[in-house]
Amino acid sequence: MNEITIIKPDDFHIHLRQGSDLEYYAKESEKQFKRGIIMPNTVPPIVTVNDVNRYRDEILKVTEGFEPLMTFKILPDSDPGIISELKQNKVIAGKYYPAGATTNSEDGITDWKIMKPVLKEMEKHAMVLSIHGEVPDSFLLNRERDFLPILDEIHRTFPKLRIVMEHVSCKESIDYINSAHDHVAGSISLHHLISTIEDVINDTSIKCMPIPKTPEDREAIRFAAFSGNRKFFFGSDSAPHKVEGKIGFNPKSGVYTAPVILPKLAELFYENGVLDKLENFVSVYGARFYKLPLNREHITVIKKPMIVPDEMYGVRPYLAGSEISWSLKN
C-alpha cells in the first residue's frame, strides 16, 4: 500500500503558545488536524471563562477550518463555582499540572486533594480531567511511575470522572490504564513512540517532560498504539521553544513535533505492518473518549519522502534534517 486516506485526525494535546507565535503554530497544526485540545499553560495561564473565550477567538482568527477544543488550568485557588460556566462555554477539560513538573507549571498543584471541590464539579458536569502525571521530586526516570498511586487515588475518589493520563511514557502507566475502568485513558505522543532517553542525551533539543525512557517502555507504548486498544489515542504534546531556549544549561522542556506527525506516524505504522490501525488511533478513539462526533474531512498520506527542515520559525523541529519516507498528499 503506497497511500492511505483517513478521517482527518484530532490532536488531543497541543501547545499553540500565544501572541505573534500563535498564528504560525496554529496554521502548521491545521494542515494535519481538524481539532486540537489546546493546552492552557500560557503566560498568564488560561483559567477563567474570559481567558478561554479570548484564547479561542485568537486561534479561530488565524485558522480556517480548525476547531480548538479549550481547556483551563486548575490552580490551587480555582473556584469550583466556575466549572458550570466553563462547561457552558464548551470547555472540554481541566488540566492538572503538579507544581514544577514541566514548562510553566510553577503555579500548579502540590497536593491533589486541594482540587477535590473542583474535581467534584468536573465529574458532575462531565468535564474531562487531563493530567500531567509526574512527581517532580522523584528521579527523572521514575517521575511518572511514582505518580500512578496518585492517579489511582483520584480515580477511586471520583470514579465517574473521565481522566486522561497525558503523554504516557512508561510501561507501568500502560499497565495501569489497561487495568483501570474505561473512564481512564492515555494519550500517546509521536516522540514517545520513537525516542528513548539515549536520543535525548544525544540531542537535548528534544528534551521534554515526561522524558522519553527505555526501549522497554517505548515497546509497551508501541504495543498500546499498534494493537488497536481504544484506551489509547494520539495527543502530540507538540511544544515549540525557540532554539535559544533549547541550548546550554537546563534547556527548556518541550519538543516541536507538529510538522512531522502524520508522515512519521504513517512511516512507523507502515514499517510495523499496522497501517490499518492508524485511523482509529489518530481519528477515532480519542473522539469517542471525549464524546465528540467523528470529523467529516479526510486526509491522504503517501509513501513519498520528505526532508524535515533544520529550523522552522526559529524552532528546531523534531527529527530535524532527517528523511521521512511518507508525506502529506497535497
Residues catalogued as catalytic: 237
Contact track, ligand NCD, 233-272, x by CB under 6 A: ----x-x-------------xx------------------
DSSP-assigned beta bridge partners for residue 68: 36
11 binds Zn ion (CB under 5 A): no
Bridge-based pairing of strands 35-38 and 10-14 is parallel
Closest approach of ligand NCD to the CB of residue 269, in Å: 23
192 binds ligand NCD (CB under 6 A): no
Q: Which amino acid is at 112?
A: W
Residue among 174, 193, 209, 275 that touches ligand NCD (CB under 6 A)? 209
In this structure, the number of other CB atoms found within 10 A of the CB of residue 222 comes to: 19
Closest approach of ligand NCD to the CB of residue 255, in Å: 7
324 binds ligand NCD (CB under 6 A): no
Q: Is 195 helix (H, G, I), strand (E, B) or coil?
A: coil
195 binds ligand NCD (CB under 6 A): no
Closest approach of ligand NCD to the CB of residue 92, in Å: 16
Spatial separation of the C-alpha atoms in residues 307 and 324, rounded to whole Å: 6
102 binds ligand NCD (CB under 6 A): yes
Closer to ligand NCD by CB, 209 or 262: give it. 209
- Site residues (CB under 5 A) for Zn ion, limited to 222-241: 237
Number of H helices, E strands in the chain: 12, 13
Given a contact cutoff of 8 angstroms between Cβ atoms, the answer to whether 81 and 46 are in contact is no
- From the list Zn ion, ligand NCD, none, pick the one residue 103 interacts with, judged by a Cβ distance below 5 to 8 Å according to partner type: ligand NCD
132 binds ligand NCD (CB under 6 A): yes
Q: Extract the C-alpha cell encoding 21.
A: 507565535
- From the list ligand NCD, Zn ion, none, pick the one residue 299 interacts with, judged by a Cβ distance below 5 to 8 Å according to partner type: none
Closer to Zn ion by CB, 30 or 237: give it. 237
Distances (CA, A) of 135 to 53, 106, 146: 31, 13, 6
130 binds ligand NCD (CB under 6 A): no
In this structure, the number of other CB atoms found within 10 A of the CB of residue 247 comes to: 11
Distances (CA, A) of 166 to 6, 72, 118, 252, 291: 24, 15, 19, 19, 17
Given a contact cutoff of 8 angstroms between Cβ atoms, the answer to whether 31 and 328 are in contact is yes
144 binds Zn ion (CB under 5 A): no
Dihedral, CA of residue 239, residue 244, residue 248 and residue 254, to nearest 10: 0
267 binds Zn ion (CB under 5 A): no
Closest approach of ligand NCD to the CB of residue 17, in Å: 8
In this structure, the number of other CB atoms found within 10 A of the CB of residue 330 comes to: 7
11 binds ligand NCD (CB under 6 A): no
The footprint of ligand NCD (CB under 6 A) covers 15, 41, 102-103, 132, 208-209, 237, 239, 253-254
Which residues of this protein are in contact with Zn ion, per CB under 5 A? 237
